[in-house]
Chain A
């Protein structure tokens, strides 16, 4: 039990359809994980958006630092051969 009176912040991820991956949709406050899922259900799936919900405490997420942008991402920008753009994907393959 924490001493703070504020509920912790949770990040919410929702899967829209089977076969798709969970996508970050936003955040909310809740006292515990179970309640966070219920709140997510009420806040983010009111219009049939989801088939599955993940929540994770925001404090448990480690994020990259914006100041590392150069070394992290720029080396990839001139390596076009890493993109699978040279293949023709049949429509039936669906989402890749």
Chain B
């Protein structure tokens, strides 16, 4: 397709890398979640996200037109080429942080994917349409869990509040704006992420309120993930695990 649209390539990497990095983090729970039922649910969520990754990165590879596949993009790029928001790469830490992060992300993805269904690019619209149903289920589940744990025992409330406090400074990056965002907006491919702010706030504050949790009153936001300027130290460790097989045995297949 359009090898002449580097902004579209960048945009698609952001969508794909968000799904890939969160999908991998979520998959780390496989076999170790607090209950069998949660274990399977988390594995399902991870698989949904990896499925979305395949679609976004395959599209990105086509747009790039350099002969790379979605697998190449996932397994053979290094930290500085990843375009996910930082929030998704920090370690799971505990079940509370995992679910709080999932919730913050889902609360963005649902309005975001809804809006992307109206994209001027048919393929963006198609991927968004398919992913939205998954995101809606994820949001239902993560919001419920945040409420159950926040409004649970003293200990679960305290762990959830700690998770919210930790993640909060990472949430602002979801609404970042740079040349790529402006280009996508002007080409009718995607809305500006900042236009999701109200929907996100509505979902997040009402849920936190119901969960007896409070959002820190500090607008500071870590940035650097979605533009690749500065990832956290954690992404490299995660990629080392995720990519080791392809790095050690290049071209290995099932």
Contacts and interface: CB of A to CB of B under 8 A. Distances in A.
Interface of A: 7, 28-31, 34-35, 38-39, 42-43, 46
A27 to B, nearest CB: 11
Question: Which has the most chain A C-beta neighbours within 10 Å: B36, B37, B41?
Answer: B37
Contacts of A42: 37, 40-41, 44
A5 to B, nearest CB: 10
A34 B141 CA distance: 10
B156 to A, nearest CB: 12
A62 to B, nearest CB: 25
A31 B141 CA distance: 13
B148 interface: yes
A31 B145 CA distance: 11
Contacts of A38: 41, 140-141, 144
Contacts of A39: 37, 40-41
A43 B39 CA distance: 10
22 contacts: A7-B35, A28-B36, A28-B37, A29-B35, A29-B36, A30-B37, A31-B148, A34-B144, A35-B144, A38-B41, A38-B141, A39-B40, A39-B41, A42-B40, A42-B41, A42-B44, A43-B36, A43-B37, A43-B40, A43-B41, A46-B40, A46-B44
Interface in B3-50: 35-37, 40-41, 44
For the complex, would chain B's binding face be called helix, strand, loop or mixed by DSSP majority?
Answer: helix
Nearest to A44: B40
**Residues of B in contact with A, size category:** 10 to 19
A1 B196 CA distance: 38
Nearest to A7: B35
B37 A29 contact: yes
Contacts of A29: 35-37
B3 to A, nearest CB: 38
B201 to A, nearest CB: 25
Nearest to B47: A46
Nearest to A30: B37
A31 B144 CA distance: 12
A18 to B, nearest CB: 20
Contacts of B37: 28-30, 39, 42-43
Q: Which 7 A-B pairs have the closest CB atoms?
A: A39-B37, A42-B41, A42-B44, A42-B40, A43-B40, A28-B37, A38-B141
Contacts of B141: 38
Question: Which has the most chain B C-beta neighbours within 10 Å: A31, A34, A35, A42?
Answer: A42
Contacts of B36: 28-29, 43
Contacts of A7: 35
A30 B37 CA distance: 8
Nearest to B37: A39
Contacts of A31: 148
